[in-house]
Structure 1
Amino acid sequence: MLLMTVFMLLLAAAALWGLGAIWFQGPGNAVLRLLWMAAWLLWLAGCGFWGLGRGLPAVSAALWVVSLLLMLTWWRQIVPSGRRDWADDVAVHMQLQADGALADSRQRVLLKNVRNFRWRSDEDYDVRWESRRYELAQLASVDVATSYWMGPAIAHTLVSFGFNNGEHVVFSIEIRKQKGEQFDALAGFFRRYELALIAADERDILAVRTNIRGEQLRLYRLNMRQSVMRELFMAYAREADSLNDKPRFYNTLTANCTTIVWQLARRVGATLPLDWRLLASGYLPEYLNSLGVLTPGYSLNELRLAGDITERAKAWQSSAEVSDAQAGVDFSRAIRAGMPGLENTP
């Protein structure tokens, strides 16, 4: 009896999954997809009543399993694509190259397509993709940013790498939106979005969230060895570069802005246990604090308050007398004013 109950619950869950798959990936417009969903439910119900009404529950179970296998066969035909009418801010993937000046890519790398947009609104911006060289021996810091856009439990996670010359580059895992497309967390379970891993200037990817989208953004300095910083930086860069040849789907649960960070960190040897706060990403700082990787000597509340860069980012203004590169350095320095953990950073 227990096994039959479990079996029926699994079939019910699979049937509900099939409804979501049809709604988000089925052919035709909304009306046609609703008809397909109704047909799916009627077919499953018909199989059940037909077999059970004749005292043949095994036949009903077999028909259900075959139906689900056919649904999965169709589902496997849905593959990620690198060719769509992408939104401007995710239109190109980063490319990783070893710098010709030093053949050893562990020392110096060239990142092509680093985003450095100038945002006036979400619809009004200057498109700027740049090539930038980074000497990994000059890596000085790693900061985790959490940007809150839907209550305290949900935040977007970004990771910023800082160098001795004051430059920063941020890696952000996002959906690769098509033009006019909006994020839907439920759709993210059903292969609706491809994955984008953006490398960007802080004045772009942090300021657009605080200044344009009205999000609250906090920075937390990680207590990390320089050798691990290099490995994590290269893990990010290689993962972003790989999307040029092997597009991937975003998944709200298994391949999102936080879980992929966790996967990359584990890939370079970090011991990070599974935790519910990886899914409720707004509580990621609590998770990191429990691991002892945040700036020591401060409470989490002190780090949270001092790392809130929202108003500092809004207040900062560039001087017309400095170069664009220097303005980026000035912005990064200004938003970190008063943050703990900067004492040993050049």
Structure 2
Amino acid sequence: MTRCGLFARGAAGLLAGVLLFVSGAWGAFALAFRFPGPRAARLAAAVAWVAGCGAAWMAWLGWSAGWGPSVFAVAHAVLLAWWASMRPRNDHVWADDVACLLRGEVQGSCAVLHNVRDFDWRGDDDYDVRWETREYDLDSLVGADAILSYWSGEAIAHAMLSFGFDDGRHVVFSVEIRRKCGEAFSEIGGFFRQFELVLIAADERDIVRVRTNVRGEEAYLFPLRMTREAMRSLFVSYVEAANELVRVPRFYNTVTSNCTTIVYRMAKRIDGALPFDLRLLLTGYLPEYLRDAGALDRRLGVEEWRRLGRITSRALASGPDDDFSAAIRRGVPPAQ
């Protein structure tokens, strides 16, 4: 074989190796998280897939070149067909805090939300379950706040949006994973259809306090610059999204369908000029994105907003009879 032929064969082998590595890694994770059966069966399927990809690469390099590419192509087609056959469902036995699906109706200025969560949390596994129907007057909207709860370093935070009304009430919308009973969150599993998506509406004393007072997360509140018309439109878009999830369940995805990307898609309906930005994925840096986009008041720098908006200590100090929403906003200037 000529030198050019050897080079071409080597390049083809390298390309095949990269292709097999990528597909092998993806297939192994997909099988490890989604193959039906107990954990041992899932791991065995993942190991068998990796071994098969390795054998296919060796065959490509010449040990048995005739069957390698064909077997790999067939096996990958079967894997992709299995993957495409997966459908999200609403009928699993869910963890208590995501057991009920939010739904709502909006007629004129009156919004009625069913299954608003108002748990009283004493610990992650110790709580009083309350799901309520609540009515809100959209003409009484006076503010919207982004609430970020940091749970994994400075780059990763859970983003929520809280709407405030002139009677002092607040309701928080939060896009979250929908865990089954006994299931734990996995960032990697979020890439591989391990979880369904759920939209929660909750009282701040529930959904914010559980993160600050029970889970030990650091939470920050950032008042947003929005017109009443924009706030109302965004609120209604959450109700529409909740109703759509009741009709058509969706999978959660760590990148494409998470807490921030859903908010971005909704907000873009109001302001089509909102740019896509890496900070929508690295949610810990969302305040910088909001300030650059004009949604966070520019009279203060981001670090000053962080200092004033750190609500953790105020949440920890709040008592059972205190107005939790008022307590966590002490010292936070309203948006202008």
Question: Which residue is equivalent to 1:333?
Answer: 326
The letter of the residue matching 1:26 is F
Matched, 1:18 2:43: no
Structure 2 distance, partners of 1:270, 1:209, is: 32
CA separation of 1:304 and 1:28: change in aligned 2, threshold 3 A: same
Structure 1 distance, partners of 2:312, 2:120, is: 18
Q: Secondary structure, in 3 states, of the residue corresponding to 2:123?
A: coil
CA separation of 1:30 and 1:129: change in aligned 2, threshold 3 A: closer
- Aligned with 2:96 (options 76, 88, 98): 88
Q: CA deviation at 1:10?
A: 3.4
Structure 1 segment 212-291 matched on structure 2, within 5 A: 212-291=214-293
Taking structure 2 as the reference length, the TM-score comes to 0.91
For the 8 Å contact 1:22–1:37, the answer to whether it is kept is: yes
Q: CA deviation at 1:262?
A: 1.2
For the 8 Å contact 1:109–1:133, the answer to whether it is kept is: yes
User: Unmatched 5+ residue regions in structure 2?
Assistant: 1-7
- Aligned with 1:49 (options 49, 54, 58): 58
CA separation of 1:55 and 1:184: change in aligned 2, threshold 3 A: closer
Structure 1 segment 1-346 matched on structure 2, within 5 A: 8-53=17-62, 56=65, 60-98=68-106, 103-104=107-108, 107-319=109-321, 330-341=323-334
Structure 1 distance, partners of 2:303, 2:59, is: 61
For the 8 Å contact 1:303–1:340, the answer to whether it is kept is: no
Q: Secondary structure, in 3 states, of the residue corresponding to 2:162?
A: strand
Q: CA deviation at 1:261?
A: 1.1
Q: CA deviation at 1:62?
A: 4.2
Structure 2 distance, partners of 1:160, 1:270, is: 22
Structure 2 distance, partners of 1:290, 1:205, is: 28
For the 8 Å contact 2:25–2:50, the answer to whether it is kept is: no
Identity over aligned residues, as a percent?
A: 45
Structure 2 distance, partners of 1:119, 1:34, is: 36
Structure 2 distance, partners of 1:248, 1:8, is: 34
Structure 2 distance, partners of 1:254, 1:3, is: 33
Structure 1 distance, partners of 2:307, 2:117, is: 29
The number of equivalent residue pairs is: 327
Deviates more, 1:65-74 or 1:37-46: 37-46
For the 8 Å contact 2:220–2:312, the answer to whether it is kept is: yes
The letter of the residue matching 2:308 is A
Structure 1 distance, partners of 2:141, 2:197, is: 27
Structure 1 distance, partners of 2:39, 2:127, is: 33
Cα deviation 1:173-197 (Å, max 9, x = unaligned)? 1111112211110111111011111
Structure 1 distance, partners of 2:105, 2:168, is: 22
The letter of the residue matching 2:34 is Q
User: Unmatched 5+ residue regions in structure 1?
Assistant: 320-326
Q: CA deviation at 1:153?
A: 1.2
> Deviation above 4 Å: which 4+ runs of structure 1?
1-8, 54-57
Q: CA deviation at 1:234?
A: 0.9
Structure 1 distance, partners of 2:130, 2:240, is: 22
Taking structure 1 as the reference length, the TM-score comes to 0.88
Question: Which residue is equivalent to 1:323?
Answer: none
Q: Secondary structure, in 3 states, of the residue corresponding to 2:259?
A: coil
The letter of the residue matching 1:45 is G
For the 8 Å contact 2:160–2:173, the answer to whether it is kept is: yes
CA separation of 1:3 and 1:163: change in aligned 2, threshold 3 A: farther
